[in-house]
Amino acid sequence: MSTTQPVTAGDRHPPEEVLLGFARALRAAGVHVTADRERTYLEAVAALGLGSAAGAYHAGRATLCTSPADLERHDLVFAEWFGGTRAGWARRDPPPRVSAQAPLASSGSVDGGPPESEDVRARASGTEVLRRRDVATLSRDEREELARLFARLRPRAPRRRAHRWQVAARGGVDARRTLRATLRRMGEPGEVAWRRRGSRARRVVLLVDVSGSMSAYADALVRLAHAYCTAGVPTEVFTLGTRLTHITRPLHVRDPDRAIVAAGEAIPDWSGGTRLAEGVKVFLDRWGRRGMARGAVVVVFSDGWERDDPQALGEQVRRLAAVAHRVVWVNPHRGKAGYAPVQGGIMAVLPHVDALVAGHSMAAFEELTEVVAHA
């Protein structure tokens, strides 16, 4: 422990300037640092004493960071800002990788930079095509047409029993209201009030395959996801390609076109390869099994083209079905004449899904929203 190293970088700057500058640098690196957090940071460093660089390090991690991704960024910026003094108290373990719970097999490290916010490093094999889809290339007419159609779509949330009680004509005895009524009548027993559980919206999780074979549909599917996000349905959206990307936040922008652009920027692998089984596995390990998929209606949009072993995909979908309330598989090709589910991937997942529906046209999307609302 190099606890004697002072935090000031040279004698030219007062310590609070150095520390605040560090907080600003951290903000520039993408950590959400607010003014009150800066203040807490200064308080924390003051409490630990300016004499210790380790103190500034731990204080920064505790007060300026809110997620493992933030911690990683903090360590990088700290090393830069306080110039090489980090080695003295460097952690014995490597910094937590965001995908630590579910590293994909046969992965080759792609880059060493700070990770994108919720972008799990589902590292791809050699053939990964890391392209960003250029939303501007869509024709104006097409965009307006789609926006008009999707604005008409009214997705409804599936319901589950709520914890909270509601007044009802029958059900269980409502002791609180019965007592109040009794008191109002000077203790004379009277009519019994009844109550029962209300209902709440069930979560909907959308997993959208944005790989090359689905590229013709990807734009429409992301718009559908946006319709869900803005309709008041509790929704979580992920895209599956060579990586798994969490795009719920960008999709919560009200304006559909801006939301699609924001989502497009978040997705690094439009029209790339696909590793469905790995993507579903990462989703389950990192989000799904811990709670996001539990009791939720999970909708997978994919044609089931799996480069790897279809059995692996079947196994992951079995796991998915084991935690989710319902699994709905949407295959755009299903709506076409003469379609039969013969691809290996689809064959493998069929035993585990509750419904296989089409997803190729507006009518099919409307049908899908009905299936989900009644799941």
Partner 1 sequence: MLSAMDPRTSFASAADLASGLAGTGYLADDALATVAWLALRLGRPLLTEGEPGTGKTALAEALAETLALPLVRLQCYEGIDATQALYDWDFPRQILHVRALEATTGGVTDVDAVEADLFDERFLLARPVLRALREAPAVLLVDEVDRADDEFEAFLLEVLSTWQVTIPELGTVTAATPPVVLLTSNRTRELHDALKRRCLYHWLEHPGIERELAILRARAPEVPEALAGQVVRLVHGIRADGELLKPPGVAETLDWARALHELGTRNLDTETAAATLGVAVKYREDAERVKRALDVMLTP
User: HSE of 106 in the Cβ direction (CA atoms, 13 Å)?
Assistant: 9
Based on the shown chain and the rule CB under 8 A, indicate whether residue 23 belongs to the binding site for partner 1.
no
The Cα 157–Cα 27 span in angstroms is 37
Measured from the CB atom, the residue of 234 and 335 that comes closer to partner 1 is 234
Residue 162 interacting with partner 1 (CB under 8 A) = yes
Alpha-carbon distance of 29 to 32, in angstroms, equals 9
Q: Does 175 bind partner 1 (CB under 8 A)?
A: yes
Q: Is 285 in the site for partner 1 (CB under 8 A)?
A: yes
| Residue 206 and residue 299 in contact, taking contact as beta carbons nearer than 8 Å | yes
* 3-state SS, residue 358: strand
In the 8-state DSSP scheme, what is residue 165? E
**Nearest approach, Cβ of residue 234 and partner 1 (Å):** 9
Tell me the pairing of strands 244-246 and 119-120.
antiparallel
Task: Return the residue of 90, 151, 183, 192 that touches partner 1, per CB under 8 A.
Answer: 183
| Residues in 76-115 at the binding interface with partner 1, rule: CB under 8 A | 89, 91-93, 96, 100-103
The Cβ-side half-sphere exposure at 162, using a 13 Å CA radius, reads: 12
Nearer to partner 1 (CB atom), residue 32 or residue 336: 32
- Binders of partner 1 among 34-53, rule CB under 8 A? 34, 36-37, 40, 43-44, 47-48
Per rule CB under 8 A, count of chain residues that contact partner 1: 51
Q: Rounded CA gap, 51 and 160, in Å? A: 56
Tell me which residue of 144, 152, 101, 106 sits closest to 128, measured CA to CA: 106
Other CB atoms within 10 Å distance of the CB of residue 319: 18
Q: Is 63 in the site for partner 1 (CB under 8 A)?
A: yes
Question: Which SS3 state, helix, strand or coil, does residue 251 take?
Answer: helix
- Whichever of 70 and 219 has its CB closer to partner 1, that residue is 70
Q: In the bound complex, what is the minimum distance in angstroms from residue 8's beta carbon to partner 1?
A: 20
Round to whole Å and give the CA distance between 360 and 258.
23
CA distance 217 to 214: 6
- Choose which of 24, 132, 154, 164 interacts with partner 1 (CB under 8 A): 164
Count CA atoms closer than 13 A to 325's CA, side-chain side.
19
**Residue 318 touches partner 1, criterion: CB under 8 A:** no
Among 90, 151, 179, 363, binds partner 1 (CB under 8 A): 179
Q: How far is the CB of 191 from partner 1 (least distance, A)?
A: 15
CB of 351 closer than 8 Å to CB of 314: yes
* 182 is an interface residue for partner 1 by CB under 8 A: yes
**In angstroms, what is the minimal distance from the CB of 361 to partner 1?**
34
Minimum CB separation from partner 1 for residue 342, in Å? 29
The residue ranges that bind partner 1 (CB under 8 A) are: 1, 32, 34, 36-37, 40, 43-44, 47-48, 54-55, 58-59, 61-63, 65-68, 70-71, 89, 91-93, 96, 100-103, 162-164, 175-176, 178-179, 182-184, 186-187, 285, 287, 289-292, 295
